[in-house]
């Protein structure tokens, strides 16, 4: 039986089994009652024919509030009435934890509940198999990412999350008090993954939290997300970085389609694996598409949420889900991106998925003097980045890399609609608990 359910919460000896789980439902129909018990792997029916069961046990089990946690021991019988093909006739039970009444949130009720209510009682929301399936897929996604980057020679690293400087713009920095000094929560591992390129660890990756003081309430921004970062040395151009991301994203989509079959079925979703290579649009082409659609953007402006959506719709008409937008104006990109000399552009790109940015990256400026000049142009004080700049003063190879927001990838892959669906305990300006 445990092989059938792949569950650690069920053990069988000589036709006797003990099952442990949450009481999902109790139905009493006069002479017979049914208790549905749920665990991570599914549900089992406990059948209580009143005449054949100890009256006290009958009373105890049928009076249990929904979502109580119990262990029930009894006789296993074949049944054509249940999905598992089995039912359990109990002989004893142990109540581990009686649930309060009423529940803050239903687990099986098919009523629409506001996202806020669900998140306020997330532990209960996560008892729903279709919600847990998202996180099982997320875990598989991480495994697939790691498998693919390791195969490509990347070494896993961990960089500090308490920092003296940020790389992605001052407005989104979370300031903290670090003993007697001000410090910041890491917005990305950008500075450190680049420093590592000067060490000879020429391909590194990190999967870790990134913090952004994003004071906006959208369905794609949170203040804490998991960033999947890669950095690689000895590149000739940013296209090598794009090719690497494409390999990884393709590996994830292909792998999940296969490994995640059960979870995708629970969610009623299918994964579309786009053909390779993913098309590459330039920023200038995109700007024209967006302007033609009536958005008043000018050269140098960020395409923004609306612009990305217009391009996404245009690509969808061609049946394209995933595409790169390359050659952004240097003005729209951070100091660490390399300028395309003699043009207003840079060796940078974003990867967009169904009208939303899921990744950005590019070739980095590895030449010390040019890097300092770029910092100054962006109004930054090189002295604040001394610890970073030093690594460029004594031998730095050409390099490039990317950052992918893994929740954004998951949201677009499963069409979840809101990034909060892809985070167990999301953080946004209005939410600090649970």
Residues making contact with ligand AMO (CB under 6 A) = 168, 188, 190, 212, 214, 221-222, 225, 227, 229, 357-362, 401-405, 408, 419
Q: Of 203, 360, 365, 420, which residue is the catalytic one?
A: 360
**Are the C-beta atoms of 375 and 364 separated by less than 8 Å?**
no
Q: Of 212, 364, 366, 420, which residue is the catalytic one?
A: 212
Distance CA 26, CA 61 (A): 8
Distance CA 162, CA 31 (A): 64
Q: Of 206, 214, 330, 407, which residue is the catalytic one?
A: 214
Q: Which residues lie below 8 Å from residue 236, measured CB to CB, with a gap of 6+?
A: 398
Closest approach, Cβ 363 to ligand AMO, in A, equals 10
Closest approach, Cβ 24 to ligand AMO, in A, equals 34
Can 221 be counted among the known catalytic residues?
Answer: yes
Question: Which residue in 128, 111, 144 sits closest to 263, CA to CA?
Answer: 128
Identify which of residues 87 and 214 has a Cβ nearer to ligand AMO in the complex.
214
**Are the C-beta atoms of 9 and 21 separated by less than 8 Å?**
yes
Write out the two tokens for 418: 């809101």
Closest approach, Cβ 254 to ligand AMO, in A, equals 21
Identify which of residues 125 and 308 has a Cβ nearer to ligand AMO in the complex.
308
Residue 277 DSSP one-character state:
S
Can 359 be counted among the known catalytic residues?
Answer: no
- The Cβ-side half-sphere exposure at 34, using a 13 Å CA radius, reads 13
Q: How far apart are the first and last CA of the chain?
A: 36
**Are the C-beta atoms of 353 and 326 separated by less than 8 Å?**
no
**Are the C-beta atoms of 137 and 256 separated by less than 8 Å?**
yes
Identify which of residues 202 and 214 has a Cβ nearer to ligand AMO in the complex.
214
Distance CA 248, CA 21 (A): 38
Identify which of residues 129 and 403 has a Cβ nearer to ligand AMO in the complex.
403
Distance CA 203, CA 36 (A): 51
Closest approach, Cβ 267 to ligand AMO, in A, equals 21
Residue 19, preceding peptide bond in cis (omega within 30° of 0): no
Can 367 be counted among the known catalytic residues?
Answer: no
Closest approach, Cβ 364 to ligand AMO, in A, equals 8
Q: Of 5, 38, 408, 420, which residue is the catalytic one?
A: 408
Query: Could you give the dihedral angle defined by the CA atoms of residues 227, 233, 239 and 243, in that order, rounded to the nearest 10 degrees?
Result: -60
Can 357 be counted among the known catalytic residues?
Answer: yes
Distance CA 406, CA 226 (A): 6
Closest approach, Cβ 196 to ligand AMO, in A, equals 13
Can 374 be counted among the known catalytic residues?
Answer: no
Dihedral sign for Cα 228, 323, 170, 388, please: positive
Can 203 be counted among the known catalytic residues?
Answer: no
Identify which of residues 329 and 361 has a Cβ nearer to ligand AMO in the complex.
361
Q: Which residues lie below 8 Å from residue 289, measured CB to CB, with a gap of 6+?
A: 310, 311, 314
Q: Which residues lie below 8 Å from residue 314, measured CB to CB, with a gap of 6+?
A: 289
Identify which of residues 22 and 336 has a Cβ nearer to ligand AMO in the complex.
336
Residue whose Cβ sits closest to ligand AMO: 405
Write out the two tokens for 355: 């009208």
Q: Of 38, 221, 366, 427, which residue is the catalytic one?
A: 221
Q: Which residues lie below 8 Å from residue 432, measured CB to CB, with a gap of 6+?
A: none
Identify which of residues 255 and 405 has a Cβ nearer to ligand AMO in the complex.
405
Closest approach, Cβ 315 to ligand AMO, in A, equals 17
Closest approach, Cβ 265 to ligand AMO, in A, equals 27
Can 136 be counted among the known catalytic residues?
Answer: no
Q: Of 220, 399, 420, 427, which residue is the catalytic one?
A: 220
**Are the C-beta atoms of 231 and 191 separated by less than 8 Å?**
no
Question: Which residue in 146, 142, 148 sits closest to 243, CA to CA?
Answer: 148
Identify which of residues 75 and 172 has a Cβ nearer to ligand AMO in the complex.
172
Q: List active site positions.
A: 212, 214, 220-221, 357, 360, 408
């Amino acid at each position: 039986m445990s092989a059938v359910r792949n569950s650690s919460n069920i053990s069988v000896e000589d036709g006797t089994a003990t099952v442990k789980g949450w009481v999902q439902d109790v139905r009493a129909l006069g002479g017979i009652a049914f208790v549905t018990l749920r665990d991570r792997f599914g549900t089992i029916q406990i059948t209580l024919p009143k005449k054949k069961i100890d009256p006290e046990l009958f009373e105890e089990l049928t009076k249990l509030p929904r979502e109580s946690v119990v262990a029930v021991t009894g006789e296993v019988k074949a049944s054509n009435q249940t999905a598992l093909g089995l039912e359990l006739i109990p002989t004893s039970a142990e109540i581990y934890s009686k649930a309060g009444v009423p529940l803050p949130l239903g687990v099986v009720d098919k009523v629409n509940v506001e996202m806020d209510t669900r998140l306020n009682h997330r532990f209960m929301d996560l008892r729903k198999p279709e919600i847990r399936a998202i996180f099982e897929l997320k875990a598989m996604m991480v495994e697939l990412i790691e498998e693919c980057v390791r195969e490509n020679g990347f070494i896993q690293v961990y960089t500090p999350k308490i920092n003296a400087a940020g790389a992605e713009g001052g407005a989104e920095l979370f300031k903290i008090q670090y003993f007697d000094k001000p410090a910041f929560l890491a917005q990305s591992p950008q500075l450190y993954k680049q420093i590592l390129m000067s060490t000879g660890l020429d391909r590194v990756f990190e999967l870790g939290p990134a913090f952004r003081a994003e004071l906006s309430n959208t369905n794609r921004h949170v203040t804490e997300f998991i960033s999947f970062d890669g950095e690689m040395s000895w590149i000739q151009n940013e296209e090598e970085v794009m090719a690497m991301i494409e390999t990884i994203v393709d590996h994830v989509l292909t792998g999940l389609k296969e490994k995640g079959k059960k979870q995708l079925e629970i969610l009623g979703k299918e994964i579309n694996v786009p053909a390779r290579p993913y098309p590459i649009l330039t920023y200038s082409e995109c700007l024209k598409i967006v302007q033609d659609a009536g958005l008043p953007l000018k050269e140098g402006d960020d395409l923004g949420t609306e612009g990305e959506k217009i391009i996404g719709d245009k690509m969808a008409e061609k049946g394209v889900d995933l595409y790169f937008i390359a050659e952004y104006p240097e003005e729209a990109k951070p100091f660490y991106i390399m300028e395309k000399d003699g043009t207003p552009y840079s060796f940078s790109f974003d990867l967009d998925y169904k009208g939303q940015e899921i990744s950005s990256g590019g070739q980095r400026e590895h030449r010390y003097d040019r890097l300092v000049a770029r910092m100054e142009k962006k109004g930054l004080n090189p002295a604040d980045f001394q610890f970073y700049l030093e690594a460029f003063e004594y031998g730095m190879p050409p390099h490039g890399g990317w950052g992918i927001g893994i929740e954004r990838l998951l949201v677009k892959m499963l069409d979840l609609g809101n990034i909060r669906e892809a985070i167990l305990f999301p953080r946004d300006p209005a939410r600090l608990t649970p």
